[in-house]
Amino acid sequence: MAILFDKENRVFSLQTANTTYQMKADEHGVLLHLYYGDRVEYNMDYLVLHQPRCFAGVPYELGQDRSYSMGVLPREYPTVGTGDFRNNALIVRNTDGSECCDLRYVEHHIEKGKYQLEGLPAVYATQQEAETLSILLEDPITKLQVKLLYGVLEEEDIITRSALIINGGQEQVVVEKAASANLDLLAGDYDLIRFWGRATMERQFERTAICHSRQMIDSNRGHSSHQYNPAVVLAEKNATEDSGSCYGMLFVYSGNFLFEAEKDQFGTTRATMGLHRDGFHYPLAQGETLIVPETILTYSNQGFAELSHRYHRCIREHIVRGMYQHAVRPIVLNSWEAAYFDFNGETIYQMAEQAAELGIDLLVMDDGWFGNRQDDRTSLGDWKVNEEKLGCTLGELIQRINDLGVKFGIWIEPEMVSEDSDLYRAHPDWILKQPNRNPIVSRDQLVLDFTRKEVRDCIFEQICAVLDQGNVEYIKWDMNRSLDDIYSAKTLQGKVTYDYVLGVYEFAERLRERYPNILIEGCCGGGGRFDAGMLYYTPQIWGSDNTDPIDRIHIQYGTSFFYPISANGSHVTDVPNYLTGRNVDMSTRGIVAMEGTFGYELNPAKLSEEEKKVIKEQIKTYKTYAKLIQTGKYYRLTSPLEDKFAAWQFVSEDGSQAMLNVVKIDQKGHNEFSYIKMKGLVPDAIYADAATGQSYSGAALMNGGLPLSVWMRVHTSYQVVWNIV
């Protein structure tokens, strides 16, 4: 039993293999948070002190008892108007304009299996793998109800949280803010790790103290964003890769989000994850429900590596679906950095010929194949194959490519429309746009109002008509701008950002259902919508438009804290790199791209014979070790922010095989000695280098480490596979 209820004390315990999460419906019906940490089999309510605190507001019903204040107690789902001045999880504007909401316990249910959320992505699990606890809270005056949902995946040490906001009253109310998870940590001094960035520099690791202030990490761009990823770690000061306590909060959502952290006056830390307030005013008529997207929690007492392993497994086994969930992903050759818009059917075919020669599985025809699209200023929304440009039908092109033994994939950007398009000329009212103002233009494109079914249907039908022309086996779903103009001609203003994301999910689900054999790779101007929500529909996401391997090391380092290697689209591209001008050798480019789903984005016809030889070797290596890379335990061995070399490692579940990757990222004269300490090996086993036969014990490799040559030059790399002998 993962979920226990102590009836006498009204204490709920969510037990996983290594953790305990506890809360209590106290004698006033207030749901208090008691504990989240190492597993205990004990009632932890003694931790909560009831002692008078200066300036604390006391509920009226308690009369002169000053020892009870909601502004001091640890709360499971804090609301406004209750004497709690810290961040809150929920704000609802009542019919009379007041915002007070005082939630008290009504009932609860414990069930086998994991709850699901209608229209939203969520962790899934079998009846044996998970249990669900739902706790119903209600405001006795307004009858507003909140159903808190907890999914417990015992073996995975994962707890999920979501909330249903239900209008149980007679008249309309407006939800102004709603979170799915709140953590009140009674003691401890925490750092906050967030993954910030910008287009082409996504998910940069940053660790700072949670001090006496309110901090927030958010996106109000309509997508989860390049700027902040909806994933944070709260780490005790001494937490490192291998030791110390840390908590992860991962929002399973692709739109606006808000994470808030606050260390309060008495040293407790509150962390809240949920929907953003900006532009959000969600009306609920009598009986209506708002579903708040899910947050995935874990607690690790063994540092970040363990935390990452749990999220990697959870995403691989309980978020990603479909035939590519466990399948080795195809190695792709993508036309974008190879040709941009400058291609025709013959050049695409020639790239496929080169792909076949090199051993690449799939050719992707990126942007530029439809309407009159010769640059990025036109034709989005007109999803008709430009047969004049291709010199043949799409079906013919695909057939010729398949005849080479190469699969075919195609790029789409369903949510967007160009001003210069037949679709926009016919339906200028189908975009998101403020009334009586010109729209804001970004990359010369406008955002279609995906809150509207007729808009989605029109795009869906057009895209299906393309996909039905041949054997398409891969789609790259792009999204190349943020949502600036939050206003829909049809959907109520305060619902637009939320309903937009529901529209995206509905479209994605329809696409998956109709084409279950197509692999969909998400993309958003690189990695601007890289989140667990999209991974429910698209098993992999293009990591970044930055393909420079040295920058990519930083991007992939940050990405790896929450997202598995199989989620990260990563390619080898040409040098000098189009963004940074760096000229990194082919071997290092390959090793870095192998920290992802692997592929190429260059024109092989321009490569030297020597480079082609290296590529063939890379492909052989990747195919041999694809399972190890995509599903093995991933370890960060160094930090690219602090160390002169980046090192990471994949280890099979049983520890019998490991792949070590090292890239020298910085160089000074006469290098210091460097040793890389491997992780996760069997200490008393002997591991041999698959290429040279040189062997060491697991303990030696982990404790003494492997010496790097002092002559290793900047941006060169080293990859070695170890097998137990």
Contact call for residue 420 and ligand GLA (CB under 6 A) = no
Contact call for residue 366 and ligand GLA (CB under 6 A) = yes
* Binding residue (CB under 6 A) for ligand GLA from 35, 411, 507, 648: 411
Which residue lies nearer to ligand GLA by CB, 194 or 373?
A: 373
Contact call for residue 543 and ligand GLA (CB under 6 A) = no
Q: How far is the CB of 336 from ligand GLA (least distance, A)?
A: 4
3-state DSSP call for residue 318? helix
Contact call for residue 343 and ligand GLA (CB under 6 A) = no
Q: Looking up tokens 């679906």, which residue turns up?
A: 321
Q: How far is the CB of 330 from ligand GLA (least distance, A)?
A: 17
What is the distance between the alpha carbons of residues 311 and 61, in angstroms, rounded to a whole number? 44
Q: How far is the CB of 478 from ligand GLA (least distance, A)?
A: 5
Contact call for residue 545 and ligand GLA (CB under 6 A) = yes
* Binding residue (CB under 6 A) for ligand GLA from 138, 415, 478, 499: 478
Looking at 102, 202, 382, 531, which residue is catalytic? 531
What is the distance between the alpha carbons of residues 176 and 60, in angstroms, rounded to a whole number? 26
How far is CA 342 from its chain centroid?
33
The helix (run of H) or strand (run of E) holding residue 487 is: none
Q: How far is the CB of 282 from ligand GLA (least distance, A)?
A: 31
Contact call for residue 526 and ligand GLA (CB under 6 A) = yes
Q: How far is the CB of 341 from ligand GLA (least distance, A)?
A: 8
Which residue lies nearer to ligand GLA by CB, 269 or 379?
A: 379
DSSP state of 537: T
**SS (HEC) of 198-255:** CCCCCCEEEEEECCCCEEEEEECCCCCCCCECCEEEEEECCCCCCCECEEEEEECCCC
The helix (run of H) or strand (run of E) holding residue 409 is: strand 407-412
Asked if 697 and 687 count as a contact pair (C-beta separation under 8 A), the reply is yes
Candidates 76-84, 386-394, 457-465, 521-529 — which segment interacts with ligand GLA by CB under 6 A?
A: 521-529
Q: Looking up tokens 């604390």, which residue turns up?
A: 56
Q: Tokens standing for 563?
A: 């997202």
Candidates 319-327, 518-526, 575-583, 715-723 — which segment interacts with ligand GLA by CB under 6 A?
A: 518-526
CB atoms within 10 A of CB 458: 18
Which residue lies nearer to ligand GLA by CB, 432 or 523?
A: 523
Asked if 485 and 497 count as a contact pair (C-beta separation under 8 A), the reply is no
Asked if 219 and 525 count as a contact pair (C-beta separation under 8 A), the reply is no
Q: Tokens standing for 90?
A: 């929920």
Q: Torsion-angle region of residue 285: left (phi > 0), alpha (psi -120 to 50) or beta?
A: beta
Contact call for residue 180 and ligand GLA (CB under 6 A) = no
* Binding residue (CB under 6 A) for ligand GLA from 167, 245, 480, 717: 480
Q: Can 531 be counted among the known catalytic residues?
A: yes
Looking at 419, 506, 585, 611, which residue is catalytic? 611
CB-based burial of residue 675 (10 Å sphere; 0-12 exposed, 13-18 middle, 19+ buried)? exposed
Q: Can 376 be counted among the known catalytic residues?
A: no
What is the distance between the alpha carbons of residues 497 and 491, in angstroms, rounded to a whole number? 10
Candidates 325-333, 444-452, 520-528, 704-712 — which segment interacts with ligand GLA by CB under 6 A?
A: 520-528
Contact call for residue 176 and ligand GLA (CB under 6 A) = no
Q: How far is the CB of 368 from ligand GLA (least distance, A)?
A: 8
Q: How far is the CB of 387 from ligand GLA (least distance, A)?
A: 20
Using the CB atoms, write b or e for 17-42: b if 16+ within 10 Å: ebbbbbbbbbeeebbbbbbbbeeeee
Contact call for residue 521 and ligand GLA (CB under 6 A) = no
Minimal CB distance to ligand GLA: which residue?
367
What is the distance between the alpha carbons of residues 514 and 106, in angstroms, rounded to a whole number? 42
User: Which residues form the catalytic set?
Assistant: 531, 611
Contact footprint for ligand GLA (CB under 6 A): 336, 366-367, 376, 411, 478, 480, 523, 525-526, 542, 545
